[in-house]
Amino acid sequence: MIRLYEAGMSTCAQKVRFTLEQKGLPWEGITVDLHGGENYSPEFRKINPKAIIPVLDDDGDMIYESNSICIYLDEKYPETPLMPADPKGRADVRELLQAIDEQIHHDSSALTYGIAFRPGVRAKYDTEEKLQGYLNGMPDAGRRASKGDVIRKGVESTECTIAVQRLSLILSRLEEKLQNSAFLVGNQLTIADIAYSPYMTRLTHLKLAGMWADKPAVSDWFDRVVATEGYQKGLAAYFNPEVVARMEGGGEKAWPTVQSIMQA
C-alpha cells in the first residue's frame, strides 16, 4: 500500500499527489500539521530527520524529496509514463527539476511567508525570544536564516526581492521553451510539468499571475496542465478556501511591491 505523509496546500505534496492521480495509483494520505509544528516533533523526525514533507511509504520503502518521489513512482509503476522515452528528453526533465531544488522552491516559500503567512507566525510567536525558538526548530541553518529574514521583514526582505527576480527569469525561460512545444519537454505531459504546476498555482493564489501577463505561451501551457485529471484530483481538490483567501488578500497588498521589483 502506498502511503503519503503530506499536507493539503504543501507545494511538494501537491506534485506527488498529481503524479499519483495522473498515474491512477491507489494511495492513502497521512496529514502532517505543518502550522502546528508536527513535522518538528520527535515522532516525525524518526520518519524524516530533515523534518519536511512529503515522505512516501511504499510497503515499507521510504522515499524522500518530492521530485525523487515522482521519478520513483514513474519508474516503479511504468503504466501511464510521465518521463520522455528518449535520453535527451529525460535529461531535460531532470534539468528543470534541478532548478526547483536549487531555487524555485525556496523562492516560492519566501514569497508565501513574506506575503501571506508572516502575520500568523508573528502573532503566534509574538516576542523575539519565541520567534527564535520557533526558528531554532528548523534543522537546516540556511533555512533558519532565510525564514527569519522573511518573517521579520515580510515582502521588503532581501529574500523576497531575490525571489521575485529569480522567478521572473524562470518564467522568461519557460516562455522560450514553450514556443515549440505544448509542454515543457515535448508535447506530452511529463514530471517537469507536474513539478512546476504547484509553484504556478502558488503564485496564482498569491495574486501574482501578473508576473506572466506578457507570456502567452506560459499562460496557455498552465491552462493545459490545470485541465488534467491529475491536477484536478491532486491539487484542486485539496485547496483550502481559508488559506487561499489569506494568500489572495496578502498578494493584493504586495503586488505593487512585486511589480516595482520586476521593473527595477
Lowest mean pLDDT among 33-37, 167-171, 188-192: 33-37
| pLDDT band per the 50, 70, 90 thresholds, residue 66 | very high
Long-range CB contacts (< 8 A, 24+ apart) of 104-109?
A: 104/166, 104/167, 104/170, 104/196, 104/199, 105/11, 105/12, 105/199, 106/146, 106/163, 107/162, 107/163, 107/164, 107/166, 107/167, 108/11, 108/163, 108/167, 108/199, 108/202, 108/203, 109/11, 109/147
For 99-144, write each residue's pLDDT tens digit: 999 999 999 999 999 999 988 888 888 888 887 888 887 777 878 8
How far is Cα 233 from Cα 66, in angstroms, rounded to an integer?
A: 17
- What is the reported pTM? 0.93
User: Please, what are the domains in the chain?
Assistant: 2-76 (3.40.30.10), 87-263 (1.20.1050.10)
What residue type is assigned to position 31 of the chain?
T
Neighbours of 105 (CB within 10 A): 18
For 14-57, write each residue's pLDDT tens digit: 999 999 999 999 999 999 998 888 998 999 999 999 889 999 99
* Cβ atoms of 215 and 171 closer than 8 Å: yes
- What local confidence, expressed as pLDDT, does residue 88 receive? 98
* Cβ atoms of 203 and 209 closer than 8 Å: yes
For 85-110, write each residue's pLDDT tens digit: 999 999 999 999 999 999 999 999 99
Instruction: Name the β-bridge partners of 4.
Output: 29, 56
